[in-house]
Amino acid sequence: MPLPLSAANQRLKILRRAQLEATLRGIQGESRFGLYVLANPRQDPAPRLAVVQALAIRHKWTTTIRAVDLTGPTDPATRPQLARLLAAMQQREIHGIIAASRVDISDDDQQYESMLHQLRALRAGLALAYEETVL
């Protein structure tokens, strides 16, 4: 369900989209992405994985890594599978992450923005199946 777009959320959406576009322009050859889902310990991640896989298929992006953290909404810096994706981007194995929504990274503006800056430093992008206005 769409949420009202706060000024901070709008700014972060623009930042994320610009970084993703810059990343895609810089790719020579196939676009390789990692799928990422954050779920609660007793939650089935399969529906969210299906959503992110569908986005990859629509854009004809190759997915080389599937990563699921079952930690619930913890600090992104503490999630092992997200760290695995960041390492893969650092090694240029993948060009970015596809997540279902912003909450897979963080619903906290500061944590989310920090991750966007980290991705920019890695020359990587974040694609979301649902815009920032949809949780």
Q: Got the DSSP string for 74-105?
A: --GGG-HHHHHHHHHHHTTS-SEEEESSGGGT
Q: What's the rounded Cα separation, in Å, for the pair 11 and 18?
A: 11
Type and span of the H or E element at 57? helix 46-59
Strands (E), the chain: 32-38, 62-69, 96-99, 125-128
Residue 122 and residue 116 in contact, taking contact as beta carbons nearer than 8 Å: no
pTM, entire model: 0.90
Residues 6 or more apart whose CB falls under 8 angstroms from that of 5 comprise 13, 132, 133
Residue 2 within a domain: no
CATH at 112: 3.40.50.1390
Token pair belonging to 3: 């949420």
Number of structural domains, the chain? Answer: 1
Starting at the edge strand found earlier in the chain, the sheet holding 62-69 runs 62-69, 32-38, 96-99, 125-128
Residue 30 lies in a domain: no
Position 3 confidence tier, pLDDT thresholds 50, 70, 90 = very low
Please tell me the predicted confidence (pLDDT) of residue 68: 96
The 10s digit of each residue's pLDDT in 11-58 is 999 999 999 999 999 999 999 999 999 999 999 999 999 999 999 999
> Would 133 be classed as within a structural domain?
no
**Domain housing 62:** 7-23+35-128
- Evaluate whether residue 77 is within a structural domain: yes
Q: What is the pLDDT of residues 60-108, one digit of tens each?
A: 999 999 999 999 888 898 999 999 999 999 999 999 999 999 999 998 8
pLDDT of 135 > 80? The answer is: no
